[in-house]
Structure 1
Amino acid sequence: MTDWDDMPPLEDDDAALHQRTGASQLLAQNGLDQSDCSDDNEDMWEEMEEDIHVKTKCLFCDDRTLSIQTCWTHIKDVHEFDFKAFVCGQDMDQIDFIKLINFLRKEKPSPSELKSMDKITWNCDTYMKPAFEDDALLMYDVEDFTMPEDNHMKNKDREIGNLKSTIEGLQEIIDKQTETMQRMLQAAQANSENQHRPSVRTVSCIRPEEDEGYFNSYAHFDIHHEMLSDRVRTESYRDAILGNSLLLSKKRVLDLGCGTGILSMFSAKAGAIVTGVDMSDVIYQAIDIVRENNLENRITLQKGRLEDMEFNDEYDFIVSEWMGYFLLFEGMLDSVLYARDKHLAKGGILLPNRCTMHITGMEDMNSYNKFIAFWDDVYGFKMSCMRSGVIKEATTEVVKEECIITSADKIADFDLMTIQPEDTEFVSEFSIIVQRDGQLTGLIGYFDTYFELPNPVFFSTGPHATPTHWKQTIFYQPRPVPVKKGQVLKGVISVKRKRREIRSLDVKIEFADKTLSYVVE
């Protein structure tokens, strides 16, 4: 058989004759004679002749070869770049391969420059558009792009891939069955006073060494300065405790996550006997603060993780400032519920004892342009592919009340005296009414907190209230949504813990004919 790659270059007339001869051979292989070609076969003849004329342009120079395989050989021999090995090493699928080809055509990097680049350089939808028409390399099946010596490994990889797909399919079935079992377990729990293991992973499942980063974040003084400077937060706890001193006097109080000990000292001032617990090293400063205020005879502080600790007494009150961004971020509520079930005396009370979550809509083109539209023109360059990643990350900002464009709706109501950890994962419908014509740029989440005592105390983290360090959680829309006054906007929000980082949240919002996914972390 003739090796086309080893033939000497053809002159134009000889090349044409050679191409016609090759076409005739192709017809003969299909049982046809050129003289037998009728009008019905004319299209097939033209297609074959067109295929023969097409040459493949090198990715790094203007050289054109007769075949794609010759092109790969040319790149390896002339440019000293093993393109096959590069593609295999990047573990590319067909989309990745197409983007790479178009990137090389448009940007024209040298082989040495390409070697130093990361896959993210060309992994952009911009490079899905062909650099020029009829680029033969774009038709190449990357599945066939395996070096002969790697064929065995490729087959093994495919076998492993098929096995992984089978395992994933089985895992999906197991997950569905597990979900069914969880619902059955929850139904059983509703009819039983016995305590069962919660059906969701709680923070007690995290090994202490894995959770070290979380607790270390509370060893920095600036975070305590921020919380203590939050007058809404600190004064609400003060008023709830000191405003109900008769209730707390001579009672046992557990201060969970005591930090600098401010809630322990409010409780001691109300006449209570207090035990404070914290896992971070700030507990050592708290001990000095208690001594400095001559309260060591009423307050005992211990360093450690609550779930690993034992106490001699039960407590009449458990006080904790556990709330995170969008209420549930950080997952500290798990520890509060654990303490409630194991250490709260019969008839005891949690402070606070109730929290609600709410959602509303905003129009804030300034913040939208700052965080989202910014990527459309970055110093003259388009970076719109960054939008999806930016939108996915919910932001925490103080939203001005005048930016609110809709009513609010409650999406969750937690009675902390009765809820279970699995109740913090929920799906809720919402309905909000537009209050003026405008552009809805995002949805806002916030929470309210209740101390339902003889002298009740309440505070809100909503945009209509005095700003707190919790601010508001913003879920931006990809594009502003035009709205009219009186329009009713309906949606569904789903809140779940992240599977691995269970202190963080996965939030999905079905709204404005879209389903958008967000993370709160």
Structure 2
Amino acid sequence: MRISFSFSTIKLVKMAGQFKPKRPKLAPNAEKSYFESYADITVHEEMLGDDIRTNIYKKALLNSKNAIKDKVVLDVGAGTGILSCFCVQAGAKKVYAVEASSIAEQAKKVIMANGLQDQIDVIQGVMEDITLPEKVDVIVSEWMGYCLLYESMLTSVISARDKWLKEGGLLFPDSAMLYIAPICDDEIMVDKVNFWNDMEEVYGVDMSCLLPFARRSLSKEVMVKCISCENVLSHPQLLAHFDLNKVSHHDIQAVHHKFQFSSFGIADFQGFAVWFDVAFSASNSAKMNPIRPGILNGMSQQINDQPPTPQGTVCKHDVSDASKLTNEEPKDLTMEKVRSEAYTEDISSQALILSTSPYKPETHWKQSLLYLDSEIEVAQDSTIAGTITLKPCLNNYRFLSISLKCEVDKKKEIAKTYLMGYELPNKNKEE
């Protein structure tokens, strides 16, 4: 389906970087480059400028004063130190702010400027390599990357938990959910593909022959971009559920899910969106009433109306239970009530949620989009089935490899591999 647009020079200039991730891409085979990327102040400007992200962390910590007061806290990947400062505001006796990049020097300045140098110790070093003076009562970390697992910082949180967290200690956040849904994204077709159809009108040169190449180029790697809920073609499904109190390094080496979607109506199916939610349920009485994955996604009513999700092999210790909980959501949870619960400051009965869903306000994570080489027309109740696997790349575990297989109405199977981290993905290197 071709959609025309009115061409302008301003739009042409803006288009070049419009859909690129803001965080620096990592250089191949260079662990050092990962930490160096976080020495760039613009990365921290982006994260702190995400007021949804930062305010939810602040609310989660300040609402947990009873759990944090007079406790020892470890901040994994402290950055400029703002989460460490929140922990002191919540009553922490001592905070160890561990940061591997040179931005740690700037964090020390922030802590000095706020008069918190007696309560917060900044330790510059890799979490897996440093030694703390004592074990801790609480671990706080903003470890989530695109597609949740890109950059693989969760491995550092797991290592810190296993080595330094006291028995019965708390984690902020303490669970994470990954979701997937099929999408139609006509906007990207206008801006990045059908652009070539308009060259004859603009410059008098027919370049429409480049359309298939442009479409394939779009689907070489994961695109980080916001979509709206109108782009979603079916009920989202829970791809993975991680309980951070239990998840192991082995659990995140290969996250696999088998899916089957039923299309809402006639549309051009162009790929899939992946997003995540994390929950802060490890404080107050919320720990006695853990978050249910259906509420996290803001889609409980819709999920409740669909047949049970086919089960994959993700996190065997908890994913099947999570899916059952999703399908048992109460019928009277409207979208408005779900949103108010997910963002309320009172978490006495429900965990506080940080969501990157297209049904929620935009965050700097946006959504991660997996485009197909060409669109497929679907109709009401068309079946979109297949599998998806996320795993670290073999030659750089910070990078993410995503293998996707899908088919529509049991017709020709499509198989694609997406790499997150390379400017020019090389499939042969990964395999």
Q: What is the CA–CA distance in structure 1 between the aligned matches of 2:217 and 2:390, rounded to whole Å?
A: 19
Structure 1 residue 282 corresponds to structure 2 residue 109: no
Compute the displacement of 1:458 (Å): 1.0
What residue number does 2:371 align with? Answer: 476
1:511 corresponds to which of 398, 406, 414: 406
| Inter-partner Cα distance in structure 2 for 1:317 and 1:434 | 44
Q: What's the secondary structure of 1:307's corresponding residue?
A: coil
Amino acid across the alignment from 2:131 = E
* From 37, 62, 72, the counterpart of 1:242: 62
Are 1:466 and 2:294 matched, yes or no? Answer: no
* 1:377/1:492 CA distance change after superposition, 3 Å: farther
Question: 1:356 touches 1:414 (CA, 8 Å); kept in 2?
Answer: yes
> Is 1:501 matched with 2:396?
yes
On the 8 A contact 1:375/1:387 being kept in 2, the answer is: no
State the secondary structure of the residue aligned to 2:256. strand
1:415-457 Cα distance to aligned partner (Å, 9 max, x none):
1111112211121111222222211112100001111132321
The aligned counterpart of 1:352 is 173
| 1:502 shift after superposition | 1.2
Task: Say which of 162, 165, 184 aligns to 1:341.
Answer: 162
* C-alpha separation in 1, matches of 2:277 and 2:383: 24
Q: Displacement of 1:385 after TM fit?
A: 4.1
**Separation in 2 of the partners of 1:411 and 1:228?**
28
2:273 aligned partner = 444
Letter in 1 for 2:152: G
The residue that corresponds to 2:244 in the other structure is: 416
Rounded to whole Å, the distance in 1 between the matches of 2:232 and 2:216 is 24
Please report the TM-score for the alignment, with normalisation by the length of structure 1. 0.58
Evaluate the alpha carbon distance shift between residue 329 and residue 345 of structure 1 in structure 2; reply closer, same or farther with a 3 A threshold.
same
Residue 301 of structure 1: how far off its partner (Å): 0.6
Aligned residue type for 2:356: T
How much does 1:516 deviate? 1.4
TM-score (norm: length of structure 2): 0.70
Do the aligned partners of 1:495 and 1:506 also contact (CA within 8 Å) in 2?
yes
- In structure 1, give the amino acid aligned to 2:53: R
For the residues of structure 1 that align with 2:42 and 2:128, how far apart are their CA atoms? Answer: 27
Q: Determine the C-alpha separation between the residues in 2 that align with 1:216 and 1:333.
A: 18
* Matches of 2:206 and 2:156, distance apart in 1: 50
Q: Which of the pair has more CA radius of gyration?
A: 1
Identity of matched residues, %:
32
Distance 1:371 1:266 in 2: 42
Tell me, in whole angstroms, the C-alpha distance in 2 between the residues paired with 1:245 and 1:503: 34
- For residues 387 and 481 of structure 1, the distance between their equivalents in structure 2, rounded to whole angstroms, comes to 13
Matches within 5 A, 1:371-450: 371-374=192-195, 380-381=206-207, 382-383=209-210, 384-385=212-213, 387-424=215-252, 425-450=254-279
Q: Which has the higher strand share?
A: 2
Per-residue deviation, 1:211: 1.6
Residue in structure 1 matched with residue 128 of structure 2 by the alignment:
307
Counterpart in 1 of 2:113?
292
The answer as to 2:151 corresponding to 1:330 is yes
CA-to-partner distance for each residue in 1:122-161, whole Å, 9 max, x for gaps? xxxxxxxxxxxxxxxxxxxxxxxxxxxxxxxxxxxxxxxx
Q: Is the 8 A contact 1:439 1:482 kept in 2?
A: yes
**In 1, Cα distance between equivalents of 2:189 and 2:245:** 39
2:239 is matched by which residue type in structure 1?
Answer: I
Alignment gaps of 5+ in structure 2: 1-28, 200-204, 285-346, 408-412, 422-431
Contact persistence 2:215–2:374 (CA under 8 A): no
Contact (CA 8 Å) 1:372, 1:391: kept in 2 or not?
Answer: no
- What's the secondary structure of 1:228's corresponding residue? helix
Distance 1:296 1:326 in 2: 35
Q: How does 1:213-292 map to 2 (within 5 A)?
A: 213-272=33-92, 273-292=94-113
Kept in 1: contact 2:222–2:419 (CA 8 A):
yes
CA distance in 2, matches of 1:362, 1:341: 39
Gaps of 5+ in 1: 1-208
* Equivalent position amino acid for 1:267 in 2: C
Checking the alignment, whether the CA contact within 8 Å between 2:218 and 2:371 is kept in structure 1 is no
Aligned partner of 1:485 in structure 2 is 380
Q: Which moved more, 1:310-319 or 1:487-496?
A: 487-496
Q: Distance in 1 between matches of 2:237 and 2:137?
A: 34
Q: Which residue number corresponds to residue 317 of structure 1?
A: 138
Q: Provide the C-alpha distance between the structure 2 equivalents of 1:393 and 1:377, rounded to a whole number of angstroms.
A: 25
RMSD: 1.9
Separation in structure 2 between the aligned mates of residue 479 and residue 277 of structure 1, nearest angstrom:
45
Partners of 1:520 and 1:510 lie apart in 2 by 17
Alpha carbons of 1:375 and 1:348: their partners in 2 closer, same or farther (altered >3 Å)?
farther
Instruction: Tell which has more relative contact order, 1 or 2 (C-alpha 8 A, sep 6+).
Output: 2
1:11-46 Cα deviation digits (max 9, x unpaired): xxxxxxxxxxxxxxxxxxxxxxxxxxxxxxxxxxxx
Shift of 1:406: 1.5
**Shift of residue 396 of structure 1?**
0.2
Change (3 A) 1:367 1:387: closer
Query: Quick one: which amino acid aligns to residue 375 of structure 2?
Result: P
* Cα offset, 1:492, TM superposition: 0.7
What's the secondary structure of 1:340's corresponding residue?
A: helix
CA distance in 2, matches of 1:421, 1:373: 43
Query: Partner of 1:204 in structure 2?
Result: none
Q: How far 1:318 moved relative to its partner?
A: 0.7
Q: State whether residues 192 and 214 of structure 2, in contact with CA within 8 Å, keep that contact through their aligned partners in structure 1.
A: no
SS in 2 for 1:237: helix
